[in-house]
Structure 1
Amino acid sequence: MNLTSAAYANTFGTSFPLGCCLMSYLPLAHIYEQICKLMVITMGGCIGYSTGDPLHLMDDTLKPHFFPSVP
């Protein structure tokens, strides 16, 4: 319930175009990654997954609108 509420609340603070694209870089178990994925799915967007190698992130052909990252 809290996860879906957080994803729903985040849709009001963003201005991404319909059908936006997310680059999934964080571990799948990370709570921020789960919220971002639910938010993009709610807005009708797509999710691209990285290869896991941070040195090759810029070589990817995917041009995401959103790239969630944490310190």
Structure 2
Amino acid sequence: MGSALVRHVLATAVEVNLNAACKAVVVTALHEQARSWWLKLGFAPLEDDGLELYVLTADIQKTLG
């Protein structure tokens, strides 16, 4: 999955939040390398060592402007 597609998905989540109260986007990384990639994009782990990560739609909105 490329960064452009992720940007599109996150922008869509911000739009959904306006109508349906979408508070966060949650992803499950398939392995540690993927986890590191999501962390670089601003996602945070749900658990300390887990592969599930999230980013708040409010933070997405700030980043995308």
TM above 0.5, one fold? no
Q: TM-score, normalised by structure 1?
A: 0.29
Q: Which has the higher strand share?
A: 2
Q: Which structure dedicates a bigger proportion of its chain to helix?
A: 2
Greater relative CO, 1 or 2 (CA 8 Å, sep 6+)? 1
TM-score by length of 2: 0.30
